[in-house]
Amino acid sequence: MKRGLVRNGVKRRKPSKYANLAAHPLHLTFAAEFPEHMKQRRVLTGITTTGTPHLGNYVGAIRPAIAASRNAGVESFYFLADYHALVKCDDPARVQRSTLEIAASWLACGLDPEKVYFYRQSDIPEIPELTWLLTCVTAKGLLNRAHAYKAANDANREKGEDADAGINAGLYMYPVLMAADILIFNANQVPVGRDQIQHIEMARDIGQRFNHIYGGEYFTLPEAAIEDNVATLPGLDGRKMSKSYNNTIPLWLPEKEMRKAILGIVTNSQAPSEPKNPDESNIFAIYQAFASADESATMRRAFADGIGWGDAKQKLFERINAELAPMREKYEALIDKPGDIEDALFVGARKARELAQPLIARLRAAVGLRSLRDAHASASETKARLEKPALQPVVFRDADAFAFKVLDAKKNVLATKGGFADPKAAMAAARDAMHSMTSLHRAT
């Protein structure tokens, strides 16, 4: 299969004050090109059901995903990541309430469950089943490097505790469960916030490794789809809007409370009439996420002309409210009829499982979970696997650094990474990658 070069679907942009919130290395990745008849793209996204939807969820995930679902040639998958919720939340009432609120939010925002796949993760038993199959091809070292796990380690070390103190294995396995969510439906694109890019890269790694080990194109390799400028919204305190920072603005606040919340966003102490820099302002960053290009340009000028913070916040409130008010009404009606939402999710799960079941059947056969009635694997199957053609490392220049790729005999790119200071370091890393691809140690 021919491979096209993409950059993760992520465009470089001018660094702003908020760029560091989303800092991540840009790795070169390679996306499979699809034959003409398979051009239908699959877009999949999930939201963890631990909290109340906030403006950041809306701007970063719900809105772009719903917009994408209206494009011709797109099949959309939306789901409630309730298994992921259990990693961080042991309050059952909260998981249930959040599931209801998030489902109602997507429906209120224009999701058409007839046209898309809309389901709850825990209604698809093929997902945990795939999680285990993937777990057994995932390098433990890959999971050691996951940002969320490492952050938890670092926090423990800072407190002088054991690195793994209080960390459940669910947090550690989180990237594998997420890979299963994506790979079970062979999704091409995953709209997520920048903080999730590493998880998508891991899903690619894990899918690639399974394909390689079991010698087939079982999985499509997904790409992160980041909507530029709006993907991470600053919260009340200027840091990324996130449940974990406790700085969110809930999506469905009644009008009056929404206005109050927006007036409470922190700003600097510049006086009214002082010219202000929109690129340093969280008010402007949020405004831009809701406004058209023209409206944003007008707001830019207002900043240069020294609009006062109070006025800027009022304009921000009006812009947000104009977008949310009609949906807020639908949301309130939906929340009052949880049974209807349950029915929609049930239909969605049935539809989704029709896709998941044949794939799981193929995967079970691929790994050897087979009926004993079937003729057992011939010696030639084993021999073919042992004779798998050698991998080849290639080092090349990438901008002002060096990069490597690992090719198989058909020149498929199995792994690639950039940012090395010299060719020797790139080659050493290529050999490491090849080593871990071919000799994952298995427990006996």
Stretch that binds ligand TRP, among 151-159, 192-200, 209-217, 422-430 (CB under 6 A): 192-200
- Which of 183/434 has CB closer to ligand TRP? 183
User: Least distance to ligand TRP from the beta carbon of 304, Å?
Assistant: 36
180 lines the binding site for ligand TRP (CB under 6 A): no
77 forms bridges with which residues in the sheet? 44, 117
The two structure tokens encoding residue 44: 């999949």
Residue for token digits 């049935």? 350
- Which of 62/434 has CB closer to ligand TRP? 62
Helix 309-335 with 282-290: angle, nearest 10 deg? 50
- Which of 189/208 has CB closer to ligand TRP? 189
In angstroms, the Cα distances linking 42 to 169, 174, 299, 388 are 30, 22, 36, 31
Q: Which of 196, 248, 282, 416 binds ligand TRP (CB under 6 A)?
A: 196
User: Least distance to ligand TRP from the beta carbon of 349, Å?
Assistant: 16
- Those residues with Cβ within 8 angstroms of residue 342's Cβ, 6 or more apart along the chain or in another chain: none
Touching ligand TRP, residues 197-216 (CB under 6 A): 199
E strand or H helix that includes residue 407: strand 401-407
Strand runs (DSSP E) across 222-278, as ranges?
A: 223-225
48 lines the binding site for ligand TRP (CB under 6 A): yes
Give DSSP secondary structure letters for 310-332. Answer: HHHHHHHHHHHHHHHHHHHHHHH
SS (H, E, C) 330-345: HHHHHHCCHHHHHHHH
User: Least distance to ligand TRP from the beta carbon of 18, Å?
Assistant: 18
Task: Tell me the number of residues near ligand TRP by CB under 6 A.
Answer: 13
In angstroms, the Cα distances linking 443 to 25, 137, 322 are 33, 12, 58
- Which of 196/232 has CB closer to ligand TRP? 196
In angstroms, the CA 409 to CA 84 distance is 38
User: Least distance to ligand TRP from the beta carbon of 283, Å?
Assistant: 25
User: Least distance to ligand TRP from the beta carbon of 54, Å?
Assistant: 12
Instruction: Say if residues 230 and 284 touch (Cβ distance below 8 Å).
Output: no
181 lines the binding site for ligand TRP (CB under 6 A): yes
49 lines the binding site for ligand TRP (CB under 6 A): no
Best CA proximity match to 233, nearest among 242, 246, 224: 242
- Which of 173/262 has CB closer to ligand TRP? 173
Q: Which of 31, 116, 178, 285 binds ligand TRP (CB under 6 A)?
A: 178
User: Least distance to ligand TRP from the beta carbon of 178, Å?
Assistant: 4
Touching ligand TRP, residues 72-131 (CB under 6 A): 81, 84
352 lines the binding site for ligand TRP (CB under 6 A): no
User: Least distance to ligand TRP from the beta carbon of 328, Å?
Assistant: 23
Residue type, 97: R
Q: Which of 29, 30, 46, 53 binds ligand TRP (CB under 6 A)?
A: 46
Binding-site ranges for ligand TRP (CB under 6 A): 44-46, 48, 81, 84, 178, 181-182, 190, 192, 196, 199
